[in-house]
A and B are shown apart, each in its own frame.
Chain A
């Protein structure tokens, strides 16, 4: 029936997807943890907000939305940039999983599901790159 072959090819893909998810969650948790500890024990600049209300009013923690700026922040061991990188990796894990599923369905030559999965990926990218900028304050 060919159904078993189907399952076998799926197992490998699933293992890869599982590892991608695990790796994504682990690395982001480590980055966020490092950033939080750095804020707790490290020296803070004079204008670092001291209370939650000051934090929300300030520019601290506003997403940079700029990969170069984020990269330089991470290299300079800026704790907020490190946490932000962790959060971005977390946001990326389900998106990567959807993208990987396209390959999985393509390998099975299931074109209906390749199309459906491309649609889901498109919705995710639409939310980030089209709806997000509209909602930005």
Chain B
């Protein structure tokens, strides 16, 4: 098996690449960490999840520190929905550890494989229709619950060059999706940002930009709920998690700051294939363990 020194160096480089690609194609790099650790290094999946979830906090806090000033992130929407994401994350983490202790880790592999393949499809769909803000997609009709909870706001859209007012709709549906997003995050050690954005943008009819920045803020708080459990449970090994955390942060920092802010479509295509390949591999692992 791999030596410690070799692991530290190679995993640091892989994590930098994961963070870099993640920020370039607009998907969290965290989704690559568990497959790499389990398939490439043979790390038990509970330790892989523990290492991955820490890096998810790191990327979210790093990104959120850049976003808080922009006044697009809606703190109230984020905080309200975190009630659902954090409780979901606890249920997810407890479920994963229960499955693994009961010798049912194949379920975790199969769910992970399915999420990888779903993400690749989501990315493929996004690559075909570039998301532009259409005012028809934003809810402005007042609704009682959203009014009471002040789940509304306004921001200046730099593309449309005007102030966009919005108000959330389908608040309970949104909470349900957020519970699922938290559950998957805690179950698999990923950020599940795509599902959070889907809940806010498609279901609650919030502007896409508000959804993505608010989701970024929520990912870290959600991940903290399950990280606490994996950490105290003894599954966040500093030697395993250390290079992953700094690698992913460095990679996404390079991705957002140093490189151009475009999202090359060929890179996205490669990434879609990587996600499918890893998804199939995780699926097979699950079937073998069955």
Tell yes or no: B57 within 8 A of A by CB: yes
Pick the contact of A61: B42, B61, B238 (CB < 8 A).
B238
A35 to chain B, nearest CB (A): 6
Tell me which of A17, A21, A49, A136 contacts B4 (CB under 8 A). A49
Q: Tell me if B239 and A120 are in contact (CB < 8 A).
A: no
CB contacts under 8 Å to B, within A85-137, are 86-87, 90-91, 93-95, 97-98, 101, 104, 110, 112-113, 116-117, 119-120, 123-124, 126-128, 131-133, 135-137
Set A22, A39, A84, A117: member contacting B65, Cβ < 8 A: A22
Assuming the contacts A21-B65, A123-B86, A124-B225, asked whether A91 and B149 have C-beta atoms less than 8 A apart, the reply is no
**In whole angstroms, how far apart are the Cα atoms of A131 and B232 in the complex?**
9
B220 and A80 contacting across the interface, CB-CB below 8 Å: no
Rounded to whole angstroms, the CA-CA distance of A123 and B84 in the bound complex is 10
Does B16 make an interface contact (CB < 8 A)? no
Residues of chain B contacted by A133 (CB below 8 angstroms)? 232
Contact B79 A120 (CB under 8 A): yes
Chain A residues whose CB sits within 8 angstroms of the CB of B103 once the complex forms: none
Interface SS of B by simple majority: helix
- Considering only residues 220-248 of chain B, those with a C-beta below 8 Å from chain A are 220-221, 223-229, 231-234, 236-243, 245-246
Tell me the A residues contacting B by CB distance below 8 Å.
Answer: 7, 11, 14-15, 17-19, 21-22, 24-25, 28-29, 32-33, 35-36, 39-40, 48-56, 60-63, 65, 80, 83-84, 86-87, 90-91, 93-95, 97-98, 101, 104, 110, 112-113, 116-117, 119-120, 123-124, 126-128, 131-133, 135-137
Please give 16 more A-B residue pairs, beta carbons under 8 A apart, in addition to A40-B5, A135-B97.
A14-B71, A18-B66, A25-B65, A32-B245, A36-B8, A36-B242, A49-B4, A52-B3, A55-B239, A63-B231, A63-B232, A94-B60, A94-B223, A120-B83, A123-B86, A124-B86
